[in-house]
């Protein structure tokens, strides 16, 4: 017959068995992590609590992430080398551009001075006693060349009938622009017009005037006074 101690042990045995069985079958569920975002099992004992399978999968993911990071490092090194060469090339271009800018700035300042000088030049002139078209054209502020007196004459045809006869007190126009039109006068022909220094300064360029005025010129050797011709320009000019 069972005594009380034996009976108590017999009753407690199933309880102990159930407790041990349930504890041995419990499985640790690791917290979800994303290794690609820098998340790892870093808390104390986390890795040790992983099952063998989970540890294996974790190590595989770590290895894959390591390879991915190594590839990124190699790509970054390659890109760095390319960027270094590009920077070197850009620095060279910058030095060249600075040098070019310096030259252009000097030219700009020079052109600005010339422009200011041109703007200040007289566009009209009141003749004084003893002055003629020859002497007027020779003045530095006019043309600085006495041979260019004919331009002043051509601009003032309505006032000057005879270029050898001008009077003190007359106010003459001093043309400064490169003409884009020309009014034909007596005893003018295309090559003569092209030879004017303010037109082309080259009589051989008369075909340019002819081609630009084909609707007005029947024959290149037959033009008439009072015809107005367009003077084409090879390049834009400042007026």
Distances (CA, A) of 149 to 131, 139, 181: 12, 11, 19
What phi and psi values does residue 2 have, to the nearest 5 degrees? -75, 135
- The CATH architecture of the domain made up of 122-230 is Roll (3.10)
Alpha helices (H) in the chain, listed in sequence order: 4-25, 46-49, 52-120, 133-138, 149-155, 190-195, 206-212
What's the whole-model pTM score? Answer: 0.48
For 137-143, the CB contacts below 8 A with 24+ separation are: 142/174
Q: Where are the domains of the chain?
A: 1-120, 122-230
Please state, in angstroms and rounded to a whole number, the distance separating the CA atoms of residues 75 and 182: 70
DSSP classification of residue 144: S
Distances (CA, A) of 31 to 47, 50, 55, 208: 11, 10, 13, 89
Q: What is the pLDDT along the chain (239 residues), one digit of tens a residue?
A: 445 554 444 444 444 444 444 444 457 788 888 888 888 888 768 888 888 888 888 888 888 888 988 998 999 988 998 898 899 889 888 898 988 898 888 888 887 877 777 777 899 999 999 999 999 999 999 999 999 999 999 899 889 989 999 999 999 999 988 899 999 988 899 999 999 989 999 999 999 999 999 999 999 999 999 999 999 987 544 33
């Amino acid at each position: 017959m069972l005594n009380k101690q034996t009976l108590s042990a017999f009753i407690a045995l199933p309880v102990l068995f159930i407790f041990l069985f349930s504890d041995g079958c419990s499985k640790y569920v690791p917290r979800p992590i994303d290794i690609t975002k820098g998340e790892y099992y870093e808390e104390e004992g986390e890795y040790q609590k992983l099952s063998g399978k989970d540890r294996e999968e974790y190590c595989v993911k770590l290895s894959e992430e390591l390879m991915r990071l190594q590839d990124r490092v190699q790509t970054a090194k390659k890109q760095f080398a390319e960027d270094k060469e590009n920077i070197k090339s850009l620095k060279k271009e910058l030095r060249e551009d600075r040098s070019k800018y310096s030259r252009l700035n000097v030219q700009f300042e020079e052109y600005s001075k010339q422009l200011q000088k041109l703007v200040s030049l007289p566009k009209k002139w009141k003749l004084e006693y003893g002055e003629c078209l020859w002497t007027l054209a020779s003045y530095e502020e006019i043309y600085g060349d006495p041979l260019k007196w004919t331009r002043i004459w051509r601009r003032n045809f309505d006032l000057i009938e005879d270029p050898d006869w001008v009077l003190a007190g007359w106010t003459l126009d001093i043309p400064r622009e490169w003409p884009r039109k020309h009014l034909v006068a007596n005893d003018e022909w295309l090559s003569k017009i092209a030879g004017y220094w303010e037109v082309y300064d080259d009589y051989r360029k008369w075909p340019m005037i002819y081609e630009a005025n084909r609707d007005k010129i029947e024959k290149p050797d037959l033009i008439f006074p009072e015809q107005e011709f367009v003077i084409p320009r090879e390049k834009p000019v400042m007026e």
